Structure 1
């Protein structure tokens, strides 16, 4: 997918794309610096960092109707989430800034004929209105938690507001929960970026049911309304079957890519699954609007089930996982190397009487693809009474099985599970054999909110039908690219589970037919070579991973721009380039990376 211009969505011409083209090293720096020549050309961006144009337009409309001059609005799907956001800001902002916050709730107008047919969609919106001084703190909550509205929800609900089907609810604002301990955030959140300014949004795309919805004299009108607003891509009667199919795929129990039906799925299907847990049920798998929402809710669930204790972040994981553990609750102990010596240190702490809520880790880690020793971690957890939460996004359950080692397994479905880079999603599995299972399920019965927008569910279900069949090609392509890079004298290091020092830890969880995944990272010997390599590589270039096409990124610049020195303390080089490998023909994609290496060689005048 080459020749995508700066600021264009990836994939191109995709209204709800998850990535955006940053085709040169300089453009990535310009993005982080908020330079207008980059952000002014961005049609979209990664959804938790860049507020989608549809969401911006809806928020601007709400502010114009009910907000103060120069205020901003952040949109959330429920009152409870908006209340948590307000609580987060009040714990961090000066009193005068906190006083600027207001919350408004939009609900269906039950007096309108179409309202009854729309109830099953739960098209509610809660807006947190804030001053420009509070903006960066509210943005922290939006980014870290992943609990903001999706662009498809915003697009649909904005149309309802324009048509008079959503109204302001006069009920009192939901009381905020107890405030978390304040913790100052990094520099990236202390100023609003120009990319957050409201700009015009394209007309909403049409999505909806081609079936009659409801009965009685208003049926024809409501059906016509849904078809006009949704189009023929979403049949609301298939939303629950789609969720069931997604959960069964996540369990490794549903291998069919057949069309959905409304018939109940057979119960025995869950007994035979790639997770090796015969008592796993659909009720043990929870869906979320994005992967970070799954991590955040897992953390909340453990705090609710076990009490207020510090957590452990084991390994150099994705940036917002650490931020969640730092800012929501009593804090975190960070082990950035995920090494045996780190485990030795942790064991000494535990032997000395320290106790922890949970250990959070990725398998493999991002971006160094390091694999922690899950067997030893599980033994320590059982002995010293802490939970284990494993993010399997990069490994994927088609290659590995980590559930036996975990109390909770989380994943970003946005990535390789979807593949098409046009919808967000996340999941969390509660291990039914875990020590805290009953307490976690009790928490979920009262606190879990299913906010996964139906239209996003339908896209995710369709995209994931061929998930398992895509993995073999991606694994093979990644190994082939890895071999090319490892053979080059320009390359200082390649990070990939097959070749890392922690390979034995990966092998302990690898399925018999599994591979080593589709993500790898490379560090060239000189920074100017990295720049030339990145600028020349003929792939899509932007944030995210797990796409069906190869996607390259100077990941450390994007994820840790304000803390590059800190990242390097843990072996994460500022010039590291992360490669998410896609489904291209192997010979073609290998030649793409050979050509990029040649460009890097020519840039420095070196000879192989």
Structure 2
């Protein structure tokens, strides 16, 4: 895995890779500065920041056919999502940009006989087009929300577009919104959108109409587009992912089109006996899960400010600040921060929700969820916890939360080749009914079927991978802590908030695969990073160790702001993988020697 060239995809030779190689400290700075020697070499990038080549190619062809010269287009999966983008842009873009703004909806050409075999996939694209001066404003929406199309959807729809099967929706049809498409009816379980409605049994396995339709679709996909996508398994795959996230799917069995036993949800590692599959929602990206959790709370509770508690992943705070009435930010996630929040609540201030990460990124700080839950119950606000870094194999935060969100792109997938996100509504939460009511009308299933299939396959061995990664991370942490060059190691096992972690740690769980390190001197950090023989690039939770100068990448334009909250600009974040423990420990020992030698040369 190590030894990547600059700009190479991580993993290598992977068309839909989630990460990209930035192998030197200088390359990371060059990326942030937009220098051609870096940007021009990049085969891909993190999908919410770098627009995948497949998406760019489809956007270019859409503009060529329906747009004007020198326009830009951002692609979204449905007309509703595109409308949200337009609503975001209108108050922010100059009038000259707004004058060029238009939306092109592309749908299947139902008059074409070949489209019949594709209807169960519901392929559609809504392109928001404007002059190039509007690029940065559209990009904000794309990046913050995770609402954009996935590269696999774009690739597939581009094939349809070039084959004349995806056409602009006629004007008369744009006046009414289409009904949500949920794929083949045979696999439409009583989705969470329909939880309150009477359940109609699915057609039986012997239904000739359903059998022929699914067989026809799969055969058409493989023969015409070379896709190994059996759509008959998309519904079961979603079900398996949801049950896995709920901690109820204990076996790694192959998917089957047979109904899943309902009693499989009766016990789960979340410790919530009445948790149902319909309480787990899937999204095309982790940030999209956070964005939709915020949308749901605004819809369920009204327009109130939120609290961002703890130093955040960059776009979480942006969502809370830009979508709705704003946010109050507490950057340390400390007890004194909670004291201040309690004083505000006692003084009469009211909030929509408190959003936090457990542990936080990149300082691995663990907020006091017990106290937060007590304040939430007393002063009527929701608690949303992002468990991406801790993972539910190590911690159980649902007991203290109204909504638990996670990026499935990370350790749940592990293979670094597909995006995904999830949100769980706590069925015992105060706002559960209101949230479910909003979800019935306000949530669309935009998770592309191919992405679903990859996520389900990748996550089958999730639990066993976490155990190995936990052990490797602790071993690396021990090596780093014992070195005189290192100023501080951040890891949930033994930091100032470790007692808060122990409260939610599950029996047999560990401390996760993420840690951060700060050296006493910048030149030591640079030499260490340049020498460490691991994959180096954005993202985390991969099956291989991935190292990054995280603060440079995430906060390059706001390093002084981040430093106010104890986030060192030269911090190095290490996402630990599945390598042999002795081998990966030696990799870091060798990098430490290189850092020591760099200092010796300067003395």
Distance 1:223 1:274, change over 3 A: closer
Alpha-carbon deviations, 1:147-200, whole Å to 9, x = none?
0000000000000011111110013697999xxxxxxxxxxxxxxxxxxxxxxx
Instruction: State the partner residue of 2:530.
Output: 535
Gapped runs of 5+ residues in structure 2? 178-206
Deviation (angstroms), 1:229: 4.3
Quote the offset at 1:418 in angstroms.
0.2
Q: Which residue of 1 aligns with 2:457?
A: 462
TM-fit CA distance, 1:65: 0.3
Tell me the alpha carbon deviations over residues 252-309 of structure 1, each in whole angstroms, 9 at most, x when there is no partner.
0002111000111111111110000010001100000000000000000000000000
Q: CA RMSD in A?
A: 2.0
The answer to whether residue 515 in structure 2 is matched with residue 515 in structure 1 is no
The alpha-carbon deviation at position 233 of structure 1 amounts to 2.6
Distance apart, 1:409 and its partner CA: 0.1
Relative to structure 1, the CA distance from residue 176 to residue 135 in structure 2 (aligned partners, 3 Å threshold; closer, same or farther) is: farther
- Alignment pair present for 1:593 and 2:581: no
C-alpha distance in 2, partners of 1:133/1:216?
Answer: 50
- Tell me how far apart the structure 1 counterparts of residues 220 and 162 of structure 2 sit (CA, whole Å): 13
Q: Which of 404, 407, 412 does residue 409 from structure 1 map onto?
A: 404
- Structure 1 residue 120: deviation in Å? 1.3
Give the SS at the match of 1:450: coil
Contact 1:109 1:115 in 2 (8 A): yes
Residue 266 of structure 2 corresponds to: 271
2:305 aligned to which of 301, 310, 329: 310
- The answer for the alignment partner of 1:492 in structure 2 is 487
Q: Deviations over 1:103-152 (max 9, x none)?
A: 00000011111212211111010000011111100000000000000000
CA deviations on 1:380-403 (whole Å, 9 max, x unpaired) are 000000000000000000000000
Deviation at 1:231, TM superposition (A): 3.4
Give the match's secondary structure for 1:514.
coil
Find 1:359's aligned residue among 347, 350, 354.
354
Structure 2 CA distance for partners of 1:306 and 1:258, relative to 1, 3 Å = same
Alignment-derived partner of residue 170 in structure 1:
170
Compared with structure 1, are the counterparts of its residues 74 and 63 closer, same or farther at alpha carbon in structure 2 (3 Å cutoff)? same
1:606 positional shift = 8.0
SS in 2 for 1:348: helix
Partner of 1:553: 548
| Matched residue, 1:60 | 60
Instruction: Give runs of aligned pairs for residues 118-157 of structure 1, distance below 5 A.
Output: 118-157=118-157
Matches within 5 A, 1:43-82: 43-82=43-82
CA shift for structure 1 position 228: 2.7
Alignment of 1:86-235 (within 5 A): 86-171=86-171, 224-231=219-226, 233-235=228-230
**Separation of aligned partners in 2, 1:294 and 1:213:** 37
Q: Residue 294 of structure 2 is aligned with which of 289, 299, 302?
A: 299
- Name the residue aligned to 1:237: 232
SS of residue matched to 2:504: coil
Q: Which residue of 1 aligns with 2:204?
A: none
Is 1:568–2:563 an aligned residue pair? yes
With over 3 angstroms needed to count, the CA separation of the structure-2 counterparts of 1:569 and 1:254, relative to structure 1, is: same
* Cα displacement (A) at 1:406: 0.3
**Which among 333, 341, 344 is matched to residue 336 of structure 2?**
341
Distance in 2 (alpha carbons) for counterparts of 1:94 and 1:458: 41
Deviation readout 1:437-488 (Å, 9 max, x if unpaired): 0000000001100000000000000000000011111000000000000000
* Cα distance in 1 between the residues matched to 2:147 and 2:210: 34
CA distance in structure 1 between the partners assigned to 2:368 and 2:214 by the alignment: 58
Question: Residue deviations 1:358-388, cap 9 Å, x none?
Answer: 0000000000000000000000000000000
Distance 1:584 1:218 in 2: 44
Residue 219 of structure 1: CA displacement?
9.3
For 1:360 and 1:32, how far apart are their aligned partners in 2? Answer: 28
Superposition deviation, residue 52 in structure 1:
0.2
Per-residue CA distance 1:572-598 (angstroms, 9 max, x = gap): 000000000000000000000000110
Paired residues for 1:357-506 under 5 Å: 357-506=352-501
Q: Are the equivalent residues in 1 in contact too, given 2:218–2:229 (CA < 8 A)?
A: no
- 8 Å CA contact 1:402, 1:509 repeated in 2: yes
Matched, 1:260 2:255: yes
1:26 matched to 2:21: no
Contact kept? 2:117, 2:220, Cα under 8 Å: no
Closer, same or farther in 2 for the Cα pair 1:218/1:266, shift >3 Å?
A: closer
Return the TM-score normalized by structure 1. Answer: 0.92
Change (3 A) 1:265 1:567: same
Aligned equivalents of 2:556, 2:173: Cα separation in 1: 37
Using the alignment, how far apart are the partners of 2:559 and 2:331 within structure 1? 14
1:316-337 deviation digits (Å, cap 9, x = unpaired): 0100000000100000000000
> Alpha-carbon deviation of 1:222?
5.7
Offset at 1:225? 2.9
Give the 3-state SS of the residue equivalent to 1:605 in structure 2.
helix
- Quickly say closer, same or farther: Cα 1:326–1:229, change in 2 above 3 A: farther
Structure richer in helix, relative to its length: 2
* Structure 1 residues 111 and 501: CA distance shift in structure 2, 3 A: same
Distance in 2 between the 1:134 and 1:152 partners? 25
Is the 8 Å Cα contact of residues 146 and 291 (structure 1) preserved in structure 2? yes
SS in 2 for 1:313: strand
The 1:532/1:360 distance shift into structure 2, 3 A limit, reads same
Q: Secondary structure at the match of 1:300?
A: helix
Structure 1 residues 84 and 491, CA gap change in structure 2 (3 angstroms): same
- In the alignment, the residues of structure 2 paired with residue 549 and residue 89 of structure 1 have an alpha-carbon distance, to the nearest angstrom, of 39
Report the number of matched residues: 574
Separation in 2 of the partners of 1:576 and 1:219? 51
Structure 2 partner of 1:325: 320
